[in-house]
Amino acid sequence: MATSASVSNLFATTADGRAKPLALARWLWIVAAMVVGIVVVGGITRLTESGLSITEWNVVSGILPPLTEAQWQAEFAKYRSTPEYRLEASLTGMTLGDFQFIFFWEWIHRLIARLIGLVYALPLAWFWVRGAIPAGFKPRLLGLLALGGLQGLIGWLMVKSGLVGDMTDVSHFRLSLHLLIALALLSGLVWTARDMTRLASGPKARPARLTAGAAVVAGVLFIQLLLGAWVAGLNAGHAASDWPLMNGRLVPETDWSQGVIWTLTHDPFLLHFMHRWWAWVAVAALVWLARSVRKTDRFASVAVHAAFGTMVLLGIATVMSGVSLWIAAAHQLVGALTVVATVWAMHSLGLNRKAA
């Protein structure tokens, strides 16, 4: 009974049979929560070196994991042909049980991706057919659908990059693109959900606009997230386990012999260093954003402060724990929640047409 009532409430309609904007907002928030979940599972997949355990992309048949001993052995054989296994995993004496552990994380990651696609696409079609989508929002909602599809494509291209030659990891460039598209999708879902809530407040309500100040904050946070993705992709979190120094030095030794561009995008010590200290630029930007909406949206102000403060503390703990799996996963979770809080606050800032 409760489940039926919840579903009915989600698709609540007006007297003329049209869905209320709040119904669309609830739907978008559900999808956003699922995106946060997949970002966390994706982080665990990376931390457990599970991403290359499934060497094929079968949209339909891949929904089910191996169910028999023969099927498990067949999947394990495919993995044993990868450079990751030949050059790394085989040296640890990986067993079938070890393989099943990493297979689980990649499989659940892909399963959640499929579920997100369904949970977004099917209600979108329903709202569309009912004529329930507010004027001007169809292109945006289709754009979010396309972004989700692109996310899946980049995910597979990322996996393919780790299955060739002597690669034992996926390309950190493709990994960062995969993560940043997911966070861009999350941002679009949150912003649009808030617009829908805004429209429900009255006939004269208008969507928020992106202010110049908010765009600068978004740019600063983007750089920090990009650096974090590169640190993850290059295993650069292991470059040092002390803080605030790195291996007893304020500035780590860096090899510039392969050129400035290569060093800025590949050197694990330098990237770890930049991710540490750009964080404080991000903190300054987020403090400004939180203070800017303090009087008009205290919830957003508190949420931004809480999110970035927790993220910084978990980042330090991740380093000092030697990249503990669950601390690092929590760091990524709070990173996604920081994006949610930031977009919420940016939206609130955009509702004030006099905001700088």
* Number of domains forming the structure of the chain: 2
Same domain, residue pair 283 and 312 = yes
Do 271 and 337 fall into the same domain? yes
Contacts of 131 (CB under 8 A, 6+ apart): 18
**What pLDDT score was predicted for residue 2?**
40
The mean pLDDT value for 48-57 works out to: 91
Does the residue 2 lie in any domain? no
Q: Say which residue, 201 or 269, is predicted with more confidence.
A: 269
Residues 83, 30: one domain? yes
Residues 88, 232, single domain; the answer is: no
Q: What is the pLDDT of residues 59-80, one digit of tens each?
A: 887 899 999 999 999 999 999 9
Tokens at 179, concatenated: 């993560």
Q: Identify the pLDDT of residue 15.
A: 42
Residues 35 and 137 in one domain: yes
User: Residue 168 has what DSSP assignment?
Assistant: S
The residues near 277 (Cβ < 8 Å, ≥ 6 apart) are none
Per-residue pLDDT band at 6 (split at 50, 70, 90): very low
Query: With bands split at pLDDT 50, 70 and 90, how would you rate the model's confidence at 168?
Result: confident
Final residue belonging to a domain, choices 141, 168, 203 = 203
pLDDT at 275: 97
d(CA 265, CA 211): 30
CA distances to 25, 147, 252, 338 from 343, rounded to whole Å, are 15, 17, 34, 8
Last residue of a domain, one of 147, 181, 203: 203
Q: Indicate if 167 and 299 belong to the same structural domain.
A: no
3-class secondary structure, 19 = strand
Report if residue 332 sits inside a domain.
Answer: yes
Question: Is residue 10 in some structural domain?
Answer: no
Q: Does 38 reside within a domain?
A: yes
Would you say residue 14 has pLDDT above 70?
A: no
Among 163, 187, 203, residue at a domain's last position:
203
Residue corresponding to tokens 């696609």: 117
C-alpha–C-alpha distance, residues 166 and 147, integer Å: 31
Q: Are residues 303 and 219 located together in one domain of the fold? A: yes
Q: How confident is the model at residue 353 (pLDDT cuts 50, 70, 90)?
A: low
Same domain flag for 198 and 246 = no
Question: Is the same domain home to 138 and 275?
Answer: no
Proportion of the chain above pLDDT 90, given as a percent: 79
In a domain, 11, yes or no: no
Q: Is 0.85 topped by the overall pTM?
A: yes
Do the domain assignments include residue 345? Answer: yes
**Cα 270 to Cα 169: distance, rounded to the nearest angstrom:** 19
For residue 319, the enclosing domain spans 208-356
CB 54 within 8 A of CB 81: no
Residue 8, domain member (yes or no): no
Please check the confidence at residue 176 and state whether its pLDDT lies above 90: yes
User: Same domain for 250 and 332?
Assistant: yes
